[in-house]
Amino acid sequence: MTNITEQFEYNNFTYKIDYSAQENLPEIVHKYNLPVSIFKFYSISKYNIEALSQNYLYASHPIELNDILDSSPILLYSSRPISFEIYEKFYKDIFNSRKELEDFYIEDVESNQCKKIINHMYNMSFNLLGIISLTERDNNTLMWPHYTQEKGFQIKFNVKNLLQSIKDKLNDDDGELFGFHPINYTNELKPIDVSSFRSFHIPTAYASNIKLNDWQYEKEWRIIASKKNMGIPYSKSGLNTIPDHKGIDGQRQIKYNLDDIEEISVGHNFITARDFEIEWIIDDKEFIITVKRNNDEQYNAICEFLDIISQKYSGKFYFSGAKYELNATNEPYLIRTKEKMNIEKIEKAKYKLIRTFEIIRFLN
C-alpha cells in the first residue's frame, strides 16, 4: 500500500501531512504551548490605521517581509530531476509545442537544477498563501523601538477568539486557515529537497517557518492564511523586472472580529509636544491633547486612530511608560510599564485623556 503520509524533521520541529485526511493540510508539530494572548506592533500610517479600522490583519507575501532570507525560494532545491510530467502540468499552456516544452525541461534540469520549475511552484504557492507575523511577548523591549519607534501602537488579541474568527471569515471567503505556529529559530537556514515529497506542502510549510536565531528576541508566532489569487508583488523585490501579479483586491486582508482585541497600547512617545498641544487640566490626572497639523497625512492618520480608540476601545486603551523598581538588594533598576487610560473625543482633533493609575509593571 502506498504511503499517504510524509514528514520532515528539523531542529525539534516536525513538518508532516496526511494525504488521506479530509483537509489535507500540512501540520507543524512542536513543543510550545499555545499562548493565551498574542500581540501585533504597528507604526502610525494610513494603511495600519485602515487595518485597525476595518479589523483585518495583512497577510504578507514573502517578498514583503523585512528579512530577505525569510521564506526565501532559495530554501528550496531538488537533488534529482523533477519529472517531465510536473513540467507538463504547470507549463503546457505556455509553450506553443511539445518540442519547446521538452527543450525548456532539458535546460532547466541539466543547467539550472530545476530552479525555474521550483520558482514557478513557489510563486504559485505564495499567490495562495499569506504570512501574518505576531509576537507572544507583551513586554518586548526591542519590538517597541524596532517596529514603532516608541511612537506607534500595539494590539493585544485573545488567541482562541482570533483564530476562530479568522477561520470562520476565511471559510466565508472560500479560504482556509493553514495554521498558527511558533517560528523555528535555528543557527543555520538549511534548504529542503523538494524532490523528497509528493507535493509542495511540506517544503512551503518549512520554508515559511524557519528564521535565524538573530530574530529570536521577537518570540514570533505566525498565522498562515490561504485565499485564491492573493497576488505577487514582484516589484518589491530587488533587481526584479517581472511585472506584479495583481491578484484580487483585498485578498491579503484577513478579517477578524472587533471583540478579538483585548487591549490597544500606544508607545511612550506617541503623545509629544511636536505632534500635539498638551494641556493638563486636573493636576496630573486629566489632560487634553489637540493634534497639530504638521502634515496632512500624519494629521489624518493620528486623528483617525484616536477616533477609533475613543469610539470603540476607550476601555481597552493603555499608555506605555517606565519606572524604577528595587531588586533583591534594594538597588533601583528601570522597567517598562503601561497604564490604563480613558479617552473621550471633545471635537475634531481634540481629545481628553483620564488616567486610572492602574499600572501594569513588566518585571524582569
Q: Is 106 helix (H, G, I), strand (E, B) or coil?
A: helix
State residue 1's pLDDT score: 43
pLDDT at 233 over 60: yes
Q: What is the mean pLDDT of the chain?
A: 96
Please give the share of the chain, as a percent, with pLDDT higher than 90.
92
Give residue-wise pLDDT tens across range 109-120: 998 999 999 999
Query: Of 231, 214, 235, whose CA–CA distance to 69 is shortest?
Result: 214
State mean pLDDT over 273-298: 94
The residue behind cell 485578498 is 251
Q: Where are the domains of the chain?
A: 5-78+113-261, 271-362
State residue 98's pLDDT score: 93
- Hey, how many other C-beta atoms are within 10 angstroms of the C-beta on 332? 9
pTM for the whole structure: 0.95
State residue 82's pLDDT score: 94
How many angstroms separate the CA atoms of 45 and 151, rounded? 11
- Confidence bin at 3 (pLDDT 50/70/90): low
Set of cell numbers at residue 262: 483585548
The residue behind cell 508532516 is 16
Residue 243: alpha-carbon gap to chain centroid: 24
State mean pLDDT over 208-214: 98
State residue 284's pLDDT score: 85
Q: Which 8-state DSSP code applies to residue 218?
A: G
Give residue-wise pLDDT tens across range 160-172: 999 999 999 999 9
- Confidence bin at 363 (pLDDT 50/70/90): confident
How many angstroms separate the CA atoms of 178 and 160, rounded? 15
- Confidence bin at 23 (pLDDT 50/70/90): confident
State residue 2's pLDDT score: 55
State mean pLDDT over 32-40: 98
